[in-house]
Structure 1
Amino acid sequence: MKNIVKKENAVRRQFLGVDFVVLSMGRDTMVTKMLYKQTDFVPFHKHPNEQSGYVISGKYKLAVDGKEHDLKEGDTYSIPADIEHSIKIIEAGEVVDVFSPIRQDYL
């Protein structure tokens, strides 16, 4: 199967200063693991991709659609395409994000 990616073969990348790993890609979706450091900050931005996430560890403040949401381990979220959002890292950790369609700027 070409959609299986072993941990040692995952592709490491960086975007807006944030380290992340591309875990797998299907025809229309991309799975990434964000490796947030305490000093990271993702400013307001938007993209043509729907984004859904699962917080593995850490604490975050997600600002979307004029509201702030505190996120911690076990929390999930979905952000529609073309909606401005930002993420403030309160405590370092990891988040799995799924994007549809695939984020070309993450390749």
Structure 2
Amino acid sequence: MNFKNLANKTLIADNDIDWADLGAGIKRKVMAYDNDLMLVKVAFEKDSIGTIHNHPHLQMSYVAKGSFEVSMGGDKKILNEGDVFFAPTMVFHGVVCLEAGLLIDVFNPHREDFVK
């Protein structure tokens, strides 16, 4: 998939974008972005793990489906459909999927590593 075609696109149909299989029960769809903002769908199978990591981007994640144990800095909390977590710049965070789920991630600025 050439994600560069999505840059600055304004009307996006979900069916026009393929999932990228990340392995270990996780797949990602970059839905839209420009230099300052990016929206990404991330689907998780039950028991899959979004490994603890950090990055210079601000991140907000909406739990669109399922249940996740979210680690943020030194804190952990179970979040369910409708809940949100915010990952400030360079704060270590990750998830364990407790029930098959979907996260909607928003990044500022966009994640260049997701579109290369």
Same fold (TM over 0.5): yes
Equivalent residue, structure 1, for 2:80:
72
Equivalent residue, structure 1, for 2:49:
41
How far apart, CA to CA, are the structure 1 residues paired with 2:37 and 2:18?
A: 16
**What's the offset of the Cα at 1:9?**
1.6
User: Given the alignment, which residue of 39, 50, 63 partners 2:58?
Assistant: 50
TM-score (norm 2): 0.83
Q: Which runs of 5+ in 1 are unaligned?
A: none
**What's the offset of the Cα at 1:2?**
2.6
Equivalent residue, structure 2, for 1:81:
89
How far apart, CA to CA, are the structure 2 residues paired with 1:87 and 1:32?
A: 16
- Any residues of structure 2 matched to 1:22-33 within 5 Å, and which? 22-33=30-41
Contact 1:20 1:33 in 2 (8 A): yes
CA RMSD of aligned residues (A): 1.6
**What's the offset of the Cα at 1:85?**
0.8
Aligned length: 107
Find runs of 4+ consecutive structure 1 residues off by over 4 angstroms. Answer: none
Q: For the structure 1 residues 99 and 15, does the alpha-carbon distance in structure 2 shift closer, same or farther, using more than 3 Å as the test?
A: farther
Contact 1:3 1:26 in 2 (8 A): no
1:8 aligns with 2:15: yes
User: Given the alignment, which residue of 40, 63, 79 partners 2:71?
Assistant: 63
State the secondary structure of the residue aligned to 2:56. Answer: coil
TM-score (norm 1): 0.90
Contact 1:30 1:103 in 2 (8 A): yes
Give the share of equivalent positions with the same residue, in percent.
26
State the secondary structure of the residue aligned to 1:8. Answer: helix
